[in-house]
Amino acid sequence: MAESLDGKVVAITGAAGGIGLSCARACIEAGATVILIDRAEEELATACAELGAGAIPLTVDLLDNGSIDRMMPAILERAGRLDVFHANAGSYIGGDLVDGHPDAFDRMLQLNINAVYRSVHSVLPHMIGRKTGDIVITTSVAGYEHIPWEPVYSASKHAVLTLAYTLRRQLIKHGIRVGSIAPGPVITGLLKDWPKENLEKAKANGSLIEPSEVAEALLFMLTRPRNVTIRDIVILPASQDI
C-alpha cells in the first residue's frame, strides 16, 4: 500500500521556480508541509503566497557555507522535524570547455556538487536520530551519459549520482532511503544557457519535458511502502534518443 505524505515535512532546495516549485506544489497538494529553500527571496515569497499555508519560505544561499550551516536549525525552528530532504538546486553551463570561464565553472560545481553534499550532511544527524527519512537528489540524464556539449555540467551530475548511490548504501541501516531523479531537458530557466542551436532543435522536435512531470516522479518515490526504495528514476522526452 502506498505511503501518505499527509502531515509530513518536506524541504526542497531551489524551490522558487522550475522543478523545485513544481515539486513543492505537488507535495503540498498531497498533504505535506513544505519548506521552500532558495536564495531568491522575492521569488520565494511570491511562490509561498501562491501555494498557501502549507508553504514555508526559507532563504538560504547554497553558495555560502555558513548559510547552509544555518539551514537545518531554521527548518527545525519552523517545522519541528524533517521527513524528506530534496536536494534539487543546481545550475547549468554548456558549450566547449575552451570557451568557458573557469570561475563560472567553479561556481556551478560548488552549487551542483558541494552544496548538495553539504546540505545533505546537515540534515543527516536529525534523520539518523529519528531512524527514518527520505533524501532525494535531482541529478540529470547527463549523469548517465557523456554529453560533449556540456562536459563540466555532465561531470558534476556524474558526481552527485555517485553520491546518491553510495550514500544510499551507507544509510540503509538507519532506515533512511536515498534516491535520485534524473530528468532529461526540462522547461526551466536553466535552458537559457543552452547552446542556441540545441535549444531551438529541442523546441522544434518536442524534446523537452515539463517540471510537473518531475514532480510526479518525486511523489511516486516518496509514497512507496517503507520496505521499497526507488533508487533512481530517469525521465526522458519520448523523442530523446539517448
Residues annotated as catalytic are: 153
Q: Could you give phi then psi for residue 208, rounded to 5 degrees?
A: -125, 150
Contact 87, 167 (CB under 8 A): no
Sheet holding 84-87, edge to edge: 55-59, 33-38, 9-13, 84-87, 133-138, 176-183, 232-235
- Find the DSSP H helices in 30-142: 41-51, 65-79, 102-109, 115-130
- What is the grid cell recorded at 9? 515535512
Task: For 161-181, give one letter per residue: b (16+ CB within 10 A) or e.
Answer: bebbeebbeebeeeebbbbbb
Phi and psi at 54, nearest 5°, equal -75, -5
Helix (H/G/I), strand (E/B), else coil: 47:
helix
DSSP 3-state of 179: strand
Of residues 32, 13, 165, the one with CA closest to residue 87:
13
Length, in residues, of the chain: 242
Asked if 232 and 11 count as a contact pair (C-beta separation under 8 A), the reply is no
Name residue, grid cell 498531497. Answer: 30
